[in-house]
Amino acid sequence: MKKNAFYAQSGGVTSVINASASAVILEAKKSSKIGKVYAGKNGILGALREELIDTSKESKAFIESLKFRPGGVFGSCRYKLKSIEENLKEYERLIEVFKAHNIGYFFYNGGNDSADTALKISQISNKLGYPLQCIAIPKTVDNDLAVTDSCPGFGSVAKYVVTSTIEAALDVESMHESSTKVFILEVMGRHAGWITGASCLAQDSHPGAPHIILLPEVTFNQKKFLNKVKETVQKQGFCVIVASEGIKNSKGKFIAESDSKDAFGHSQLGGVAPRLSDLINTKLNLKNHWAVADYLQRSASHLSSGIDRAHAYEVGKKAVQFALQGLNGVMPIIKRKSSLPYKWEVVAAPLTKIANVEKKLPAGFISKDGMGMTKKARGYFQPLIEGKLPEIKNTQYKAGKMEMVTKKLHAWR
């Protein structure tokens, strides 16, 4: 008997998460076992509120175009379900909605929190006597999921950071004689330094930047940092720094949240780059510029990595195939078969090994002085930023129809 599928996006979006959505919808269409694909409006909140988008109402061209569309087209959310003990009602509500709409497949596109949610839902659905195939689809720019070699979303942000570092470094190189000597680029990755670390690939291009890489895995040492800035400016004439938003001092406090207050007594807002800039001004008196890429880095579809997009598409496709094969409580993950040439495949991994686990940069990736990366790291990162750039004729996007399925239940809450 045909069952419908539910697909939801979770947490911070990436420039390729919609490629996974596109794959789920197109692959499900091929199967006679799956009826419609309903997308949660604003992620799992859409299921709780019974706000289901009927993706079958969208044109094929629109679904195809999702491969190249940034953001989360159906809406994502930051909403973590509590444990079953704490809030059984939430889980019961989900099952009630799934039952009301004949949903037999649950695809949850997110990070390790979402893997945990998918796992819990697969467990509770069995207990409540409403069997559901639960598949988590990996997505995170942070690249911090366990078991998988890399995470869809990461390769593209890495490519953005590498490209931007090279371009800005050429700019600074040309101005340093009489103007800016130091440039700081702040990038994402609060707890793991994957994004920051990937910037090492920019060193293959002239002028060999970044000279300093500041990782959240390495305690920020102000003295060592300032010495290296000074030395680099003396030797090269200029210095380019890529810093993670999550670097911490020896007390374990985020640099971006350290002591300085504004005139009103408010703690200054985040921003590692302006702090480092202030430090360089005060202690070294070197003219510097800084950039904070923020959402630009994770939404830059125009610069997304072809390999990353292929990963994102393939995990979506395989998620449907695994569900049809009867798998449950798994995630399609990327297995690297070789780096040079880059070969990979997508296989199923149990969610129990992925849920709530955070993978940091391996020690072997970080150089001795803690401010650079090793050859091993470069070998890991390089293939992930490769592949064809998207063929976007112009960067204009259209709205979808976003037609809602008629509600059958009482309102939630």
Pick the catalytic residue: 113, 116, 142, 308?
A: 142
* Residue 18 assigned ligand-binding role: no
Strand, coil or helix: 166:
helix
Contact letters for its own copies, residues 206-235 (x by CB under 8 A): xx----------------------------
Sign of the alpha-carbon torsion through 378, 215, 372, 297: positive
Beta pairing class for 342-350 and 330-339: antiparallel
Q: How far apart are CA 178 and CA 287, in angstroms?
A: 10
Peptide bond into 207 cis (omega under 30): yes
Residue indicated by tokens 């997308």? 39
Q: Is 145 in the site for its own copies (CB under 8 A)?
A: no
Q: How far apart are CA 311 and CA 305, in angstroms?
A: 10
What residues between 340 and 369 interact with its own copies by CB under 8 A?
none
What residues between 267 and 296 interact with its own copies by CB under 8 A?
268-269, 271, 273-274, 277-278, 281-282, 289-296
Residue 187 or 330: which CB sits closer to its own copies? Answer: 187
What residues between 234 and 263 interact with its own copies by CB under 8 A?
259-263
- Give the one residue of 5, 6, 9, 228 binding its own copies; rule: CB under 8 A: 9
Q: How far apart are CA 351 and CA 330, in angstroms?
A: 5
The question of whether 142 is a catalytic residue gets the answer yes
Distant-in-sequence, close-in-space partners of 83: CB < 8 Å, separation ≥ 6: 120
The residue range among 12-20, 54-62, 190-198, 330-338 that interacts with its own copies, by the rule CB under 8 A, is 12-20
Asked whether the beta carbons of 364 and 374 are under 8 A apart, the reply is yes
Residue 49 or 101: which CB sits closer to its own copies? Answer: 49
Residue 270 or 350: which CB sits closer to its own copies? Answer: 270
- Give the one residue of 168, 187, 195, 371 binding its own copies; rule: CB under 8 A: 168
The residue range among 42-50, 56-64, 123-131, 318-326 that interacts with its own copies, by the rule CB under 8 A, is 42-50
* Residue 141 assigned ligand-binding role: yes
Q: How far is the CB of 127 from its own copies (least distance, A)?
A: 27
* Residue 236 assigned ligand-binding role: no
What residues between 302 and 341 interact with its own copies by CB under 8 A?
302-303
Q: How far is the CB of 292 from its own copies (least distance, A)?
A: 5
* Residue 373 assigned ligand-binding role: no
Q: How far is the CB of 295 from its own copies (least distance, A)?
A: 4
* Residue 165 assigned ligand-binding role: no
**Which of 172-175's residues contact partners 24+ apart within 8 Å by CB, and which partners?**
172/209, 172/238, 172/240, 172/289, 173/207, 173/237, 173/238
Residue 103 or 172: which CB sits closer to its own copies? Answer: 172
Q: How far is the CB of 33 from its own copies (least distance, A)?
A: 29
Residue 128 or 170: which CB sits closer to its own copies? Answer: 170
Asked whether the beta carbons of 136 and 333 are under 8 A apart, the reply is no
Asked whether the beta carbons of 187 and 293 are under 8 A apart, the reply is yes
Strand, coil or helix: 107:
strand
**Which of 262-271's residues contact partners 24+ apart within 8 Å by CB, and which partners?**
270/245, 271/186
The residue range among 58-66, 124-132, 147-155, 392-400 that interacts with its own copies, by the rule CB under 8 A, is 392-400
What residues between 55 and 114 interact with its own copies by CB under 8 A?
69-79
CA distances from 354 to 14, 77, 240, 328, 333 (A): 20, 20, 36, 14, 10
Q: Which of 266, 11, 4 is nearest to 151 (CA)?
A: 11
Residue indicated by tokens 């202690």? 283
Q: How far apart are CA 274 and CA 270, in angstroms?
A: 9
Residue indicated by tokens 């291009």? 205
Q: How far apart are CA 349 and CA 333, in angstroms?
A: 6
What residues between 169 and 188 interact with its own copies by CB under 8 A?
170-175, 177-179, 183, 185
Residue 229 or 293: which CB sits closer to its own copies? Answer: 293
Active site residues: 142
Tell me the binding residues. Answer: 12, 112, 140-142, 188-190, 245, 295-298
Q: Residue positions in the annotated binding site for substrate?
A: 140-142, 188-190, 245, 295-298
